[in-house]
A and B are shown apart, each in its own frame.
Chain A
Amino acid sequence: MGFIKDERPQTICVEGTWSLSSYHYKGSKLLEQYVKGLKQKKLIGSFCPGCAKVILPPRNLCGRCHRIMDGRKTVSDRGTITCYTVSPAITKGKLKVLGMDPVETGLIKDGEILIPVFVRFDGSDSNTDTILLNAEPKAVHIGMRVKVIWAKEPQGALSDFEGVEPI
């Protein structure tokens, strides 16, 4: 049977654009210290003096007890997968991000399967959103132990943290 169709006449359209990059966004310098840590292959989270939570990457305010998270704590670069998803094979034309096709630009191999994961690093109380590399999609499971894949020559950028791989 399938879906019931609802067809309606099309009236004249007026076109317009909204340039979202014309806004002047502001950000905090919290990430600056975090990426400095990455350069030394260290994961530095913020520590809450109220509930002792360690959040990675750092944030200013604790979302639960609303205290200023002015403490810092280095956590392990090993952790546990708490959640995952598996993409279908990404082929040319399948995905577009900010107008770019990642297969065309060579970021993703044609037909590559991505495994986005949540990782809880030992000593942290938050999930870090990253990707699982060097693993078979079938092997990924909640509870899987992983470690950070560091860039060969860390630059002090978020990209120093390339992803995680099974231990």
Chain B
Amino acid sequence: MKSESEIIDVKTLPFTANFIWATGFMMQRFIEELASRKILGVKCPGCGYTYVPPRSRCGKCYAKIEEENLVTLSGKGTLVSYTTGHVALDGQGNFIDLQEPAIIGAIKLEDADSTIFMPIEGIEPRDVVEGLKVELQWREETKGELEDIRCFKPA
């Protein structure tokens, strides 16, 4: 019986599931305003915590956040944490080696309380330090898409 309970590899057939995640009204405003090179956040009317990207409910004081609470932030900020990646995922369960290491930073924009995670370019990995002043880099033509934000570079 031993041979029958042996475990074998099962050959797979191709199947990929596709998703279209709705972003909601606040995130839509954020994405749309990228076209005019603006970064939108919200200042919670209850506790004053400033979120970027904007959202409609405060996770700190539970207040409802409305459109009138939207604020415009500068593209300047401070690196609060970072990591360096040497491999990426190919979406098929495999790793790909990166030719150049990629730096991902947690950035706190001026006047914001939350952080955003973005690629950091224009600096050698060994030179990156917490507290580094960074600035947002737009792609050449902004269209109101998340890809409008290309990366951050040292200011």
Known contacts A22-B93, A28-B7, A60-B5; is A14 also within 8 Å of B21 by CB?
yes
Docked Cα-Cα span, A122 to B144, in Å, equals 67
Encode contact with B along A1-40: 1 for CB under 8 Å, 0 otherwise.
0000000011111111111111111111110110000000
Which of B27-35, B60-68, B77-85 touches A?
A: B27-35
Residue of chain B at shortest CB distance from A13:
B20
Instruction: Tell me the B84-107 residues at the A interface (CB within 8 Å).
Output: 91-94
Q: How far is the CA of A149 from the CA of B66 in the complex (A)?
A: 67
Tell me the complex Cα distance, A19–B14, Å: 8
A104 within 8 A of B: no
Residue B8 at the chain A interface, CB threshold 8 Å = yes
For B3, the chain A residues whose CB sits under 8 A away are: 29
Name the residue on B nearest A58 (C-beta): B4
Candidate in B8, B13, B32, B146 with the most chain A CB atoms within 10 angstroms: B8
Total chain A interface residues with beta-carbon distance under 8 A: 28
How far apart are the CA atoms of A21 and B94 in the complex, in Å?
12
Main SS at interface, chain A = mixed
By beta carbon, the residue of chain A nearest B144 is: A12
Are A27 and B23 interface neighbours, CB within 8 A?
no
Nearest CB on B from A13, distance (A) = 4
A98 interface residue per 8 A CB criterion: yes
B117 within 8 A of A: no
Min distance, Cβ B80 to any Cβ of chain A, angstroms:
25
Apart from A14-B21, A18-B17, A98-B15, 18 more pairs, CB < 8 Å: A12-B28, A12-B32, A13-B21, A13-B23, A15-B18, A17-B17, A18-B16, A21-B12, A22-B93, A22-B94, A23-B93, A26-B7, A28-B8, A29-B3, A30-B4, A33-B4, A98-B14, A99-B15
30 A-B Cβ contacts within 8 A? A11-B22, A11-B27, A12-B23, A12-B27, A12-B32, A14-B23, A16-B18, A16-B21, A17-B16, A17-B17, A17-B18, A17-B91, A18-B17, A18-B18, A19-B92, A21-B13, A21-B14, A21-B15, A21-B16, A22-B92, A22-B93, A26-B9, A27-B8, A27-B10, A28-B4, A29-B4, A29-B8, A30-B5, A32-B4, A98-B13
